[in-house]
Every structure is written in structure tokens, then in C-alpha cells.
């Protein structure tokens, strides 16, 4: 099996030992605490589950700027996006500023339970100019209409850096018990299945025929043992389909249209960054940590609006340090139903033109579903469309 990213063994930060976890929970009630942002909580979940291996906690300002400008931490580790605990200075009490350890409380669970205990190494102010430069590098824009830029810019102006010990996986393990899995658990499941060539498909959306066939094309070309359909379960931008609806529709597609025991449908607890190329590299890192040998990177992977070129998320892999990643990239083109070929094709492999393709905009798809009309079966499996239609008609 493929090695974890930048280490021989996976180093999840979740405290598995019950006695140690109980000690930390007791300690958390005595030390200063703060409610962190949803993004920081999601980072804790990913650190806890081993997805962000080999990181040991939240980055300091030097690491943050290095990652933004050069995709490299101060220790020389290649890393594409910030992993930070950023808060507003006015929310930090005197006790927090002077404490060696603090308890981090979850903003996404009622009562704000402690999600992690952090050893405080540094507390540093980030200037507006620095924040502007960071988002420009990471997201390719400073436009506050970009959802990732808006979240990062609005998170605060003060970094609390240092290692963390993670005590739970927030709402992901309770609301999605059949789907949420850590990188440790996925890696173990791949071993149990004795899969070697494993293709990961990243999704924050339901899967229509084009996505289904893209997975099948990769599977056939690579002669893979299995596919990990790996869906994001965290926060999305307004208008995106909720995780439970996506989960149900994807499971139905896999159940009906893929051979048994060839696809794992799993989810991870992270908030979408919409960082396009940078996020594609991040996706590769945590799929390598999960034990996958390949990641499908398609058209406008992890993008939003018109901020990125259609294939920027593929070309970025040509510029990363040689040997940094073991996982390989399967490059997918725009995939559509061709009336003349009478099947789903990647445009680069199809001899026909745009007039022969079934093309539906996202807006048109939503209109059809909201009106209770049927999507063309060439575009979406009827059973999938039915689940989505039920959801849209409740809005």
C-alpha cells in the first residue's frame, strides 16, 4: 500500500487512549477555553483523523506565509493551504493570552463541547495587508465574493499556533455514522479488502452520469481494484446540496450501477475551501494518507464561479516538487453524454461537436428538479434524480 504523505506511518492526532482522553477532558474544564471558528474545528477533525499527516497542529505566522507564498512550511514541508486557528483579538481573554494550554470549543455542536486541547506556542497578530496577500496566493483572488476568501478574511486577525490533541470528531461521527471515516479507518478498510490500485473521487455534489462514467473510465484505464467515492461532509456555500441528500443519492447510484464490493462510499469532516488548484493538491495529500494510489482531478476541480481556469487544478501538479507526492493524478476532461456516440464521453476523446452533446446548466437542472419534472436519463440516473427532486421541492 502507498505510504502516508511525508512519513512512514500515519500519525493521527485523535487521542485514542481512553484514560488519556479522560485526563484531557478533566484538564479542559480547568484551563482557559475559547470557541473556535468552524474552519479551525474542521482542521482539528482532519488533524485528528490523520488526513493532515504529518502536521502536529496549527501553523504559526511564518508557516502560514511560507505556505501561502511558496507552498512550503518553515521546516521545508511541501503543503498547499493554511491549517490555522485564527480568532479575533478582542475575543481572547487575558487568561488565554497567558496560558500554556487552552481548550478549543466546537462552534458546530450544541453546548460547544471541547473538541481539542492545544499547547500554545505562539499568539501572533496578522495584519490586513498580510491577510490580503495570503488569500491572493492561496485563492488567486482577494474578491470577498469568493466564499473561501470571505471565510478566511472574516475569521479574525490573531493566530494561535501549536500542537493539538483531538478529543472527538465534532458532529461528523454522530450525524453521518455510516459515512464519516478517518484516514486511519479508510486505510485499514483498503487493507482488509486487499486493494492495491485505489482511485479516489472527490465530490461535494451529487453524482450524475458524467461523474459515474468518469469513475468507470478511470477504473478501466488503470485496472483498479476499487474506487473510493469520498464526499465532503462539512460547510459549503449557500445553494450547495446538503450532505445527507448527497449521501443518499450517491449511495443509490453505487448500489444500482456498480458491481458489488468495487466502491467505498465514505465522507470526511472538512469545510470546503473552494481554493481550486491549491485545494486539489490538498485533496491529493489526504487521499494519499487514506491509502489511495490515484486521485481523479477533473474539470474545475474544487473551483467556484470563474475564478480558475478549467484545468488549472491539473496543471498545478506539473509544478510541485519532484517526489513530493506518491499518489498519482488521473486527469479527467469535461465529460458529457454524446447523442451520436450514444454514451458518456470525455470531450477530448469524442470525435463529435458541442451540438451533439447533452448540456444542462446547473440552474436548468435545479429548475427541472424543483418543478418535479424528470431529468434526461442520459444526464442523471432516474433513482438519483428522484432523491434530488424530493429535496428541491421542499425548498
The pLDDT assigned to 257 comes to: 96
Sign for the pseudo-dihedral over CA of 32, 36, 40, 46: positive
The pLDDT assigned to 239 comes to: 81
* C-alpha grid cell, residue 112: 460547544
Query: Terminus-to-terminus CA distance in the chain, angstroms?
Result: 45
Same domain (yes/no): 206, 340: yes
The pLDDT assigned to 298 comes to: 93
Q: Which of 21, 112, 193, 205 is catalytic?
A: 205
Categorize the per-residue pLDDT at 28 as very low, low, confident or very high, splitting at 50, 70 and 90: very high
The pLDDT assigned to 363 comes to: 86
Same domain (yes/no): 197, 292: yes
The percent of residues in the chain predicted with pLDDT above 70, rounded, is 100
Task: Find residue 200's DSSP bridge partners.
Answer: 228, 295
Q: Which of 105, 187, 204, 246 is catalytic?
A: 204
Same domain (yes/no): 124, 233: no
d(CA 60, CA 122): 7
> Model's pTM, two decimal places?
0.95
Same domain (yes/no): 89, 114: yes
Q: Number of structural domains, the chain? A: 2
pLDDT at 350 over 90: yes
Q: Average pLDDT, whole number, for the chain?
A: 96
Q: Residues 310-319: what's their mean pLDDT? A: 96
Q: Residues 182-186: what's their mean pLDDT? A: 98
> How many Å is the maximal CA-CA distance in the chain?
69
Categorize the per-residue pLDDT at 124 as very low, low, confident or very high, splitting at 50, 70 and 90: very high
- In this predicted model, what pLDDT tens digit does every residue of 259-270 receive, in sequence order? 999 999 999 999
- Give the CATH number for residue 59: 3.10.400.10
Same domain (yes/no): 326, 202: yes
Same domain (yes/no): 27, 137: yes
205 is catalytic: yes
Residue 249 lies in a domain: yes
Residue 176 lies in a domain: no
d(CA 105, CA 86): 13
Same domain (yes/no): 207, 156: no
Residue 360 lies in a domain: yes
Same domain (yes/no): 192, 163: no
Q: Residues 363-392: what's their mean pLDDT? A: 92
Residue 224 lies in a domain: yes
- In this predicted model, what pLDDT tens digit does every residue of 195-243 receive, in sequence order? 999 999 999 999 999 999 999 999 999 999 999 999 999 988 888 899 9
The pLDDT assigned to 240 comes to: 85
pLDDT at 395 over 90: no
371 is catalytic: no
Residue numbers of the domain that contains 353: 181-268+276-392
The pLDDT assigned to 237 comes to: 84
Residue 78 lies in a domain: yes
Q: Residues 379-385: what's their mean pLDDT? A: 95
Amino acid at each position: 500500500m502507498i505510504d502516508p504523505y511525508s512519513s512512514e506511518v500515519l500519525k493521527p492526532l485523535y487521542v485514542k487512549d481512553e484514560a488519556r482522553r479522560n485526563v484531557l477532558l478533566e484538564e479542559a474544564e480547568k484551563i482557559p477555553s475559547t470557541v473556535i471558528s468552524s474552519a479551525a474545528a474542521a482542521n482539528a477533525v482532519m488533524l485528528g483523523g490523520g488526513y493532515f499527516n504529518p502536521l502536529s497542529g496549527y501553523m504559526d505566522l511564518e508557516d502560514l506565509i511560507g505556505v501561502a507564498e511558496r507552498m512550503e512550511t518553515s521546516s521545508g514541508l511541501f503543503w498547499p493551504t493554511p491549517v490555522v486557528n485564527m480568532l479575533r483579538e478582542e475575543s481572547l481573554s487575558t487568561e488565554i493570552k497567558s496560558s500554556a494550554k487552552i481548550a478549543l470549543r466546537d462552534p458546530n455542536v450544541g453546548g460547544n463541547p471541547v473538541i481539542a486541547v492545544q499547547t500554545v506556542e505562539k499568539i501572533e497578530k496578522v495584519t490586513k495587508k498580510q491577510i490580503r496577500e495570503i488569500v491572493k496566493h492561496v485563492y488567486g483572488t482577494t474578491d470577498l465574493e469568493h466564499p473561501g476568501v470571505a471565510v478566511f478574511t472574516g475569521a479574525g486577525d490573531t493566530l494561535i499556533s501549536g500542537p493539538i490533541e483531538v478529543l472527538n470528531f465534532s458532529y461528523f461521527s454522530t450525524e453521518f455514522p455510516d459515512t464519516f471515516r478517518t484516514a486511519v479507518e479508510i486505510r485499514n478498510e483498503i487493507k482488509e479488502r486487499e486493494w492495491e490500485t485505489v482511485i479516489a473521487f472527490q465530490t461535494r455534489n451529487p453524482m450524475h452520469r458524467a461523474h459515474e462514467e468518469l469513475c468507470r473510465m478511470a477504473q478501466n484505464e488503470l485496472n483498479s481494484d476499487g474506487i473510493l467515492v469520498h464526499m465532503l461532509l462539512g460547510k459549503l456555500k449557500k445553494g450547495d446540496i446538503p450532505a445527507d441528500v448527497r449521501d443518499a443519492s450517491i449511495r443509490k447510484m453505487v448500489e444500482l450501477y456498480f458491481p458489488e464490493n468495487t466502491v467505498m462510499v465514505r465522507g470526511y469532516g472538512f469545510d470546503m475551501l473552494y481554493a481550486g488548484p491549491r485545494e486539489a493538491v490538498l485533496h491529493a495529500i489526504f487521499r494519499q494518507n487514506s491509502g489511495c494510489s490515484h486521485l481523479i482531478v477533473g474539470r474545475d476541480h474544487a473551483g467556484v464561479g470563474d475564478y480558475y481556469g478549467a484545468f488549472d487544478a491539473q496543471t498545478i501538479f506539473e509544478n510541485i516538487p519532484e517526489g513530493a507526492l506518491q499518489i498519482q493524478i488521473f486527469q479527467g476532461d469535461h465529460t458529457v453524454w454524446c447523442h451520436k456516440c450514444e454514451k458518456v464521453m470525455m470531450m477530448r476523446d469524442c470525435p463529435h461537436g458541442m451540438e451533439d452533446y447533452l448540456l444542462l446548466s446547473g440552474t436548468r437542472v435545479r429548475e427541472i428538479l424543483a418543478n418535479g419534472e424528470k431529468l434526461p436519463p442520459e444526464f442523471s440516473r432516474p433513482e438519483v434524480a428522484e432523491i434530488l427532486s424530493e429535496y428541491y421541492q421542499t425548498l
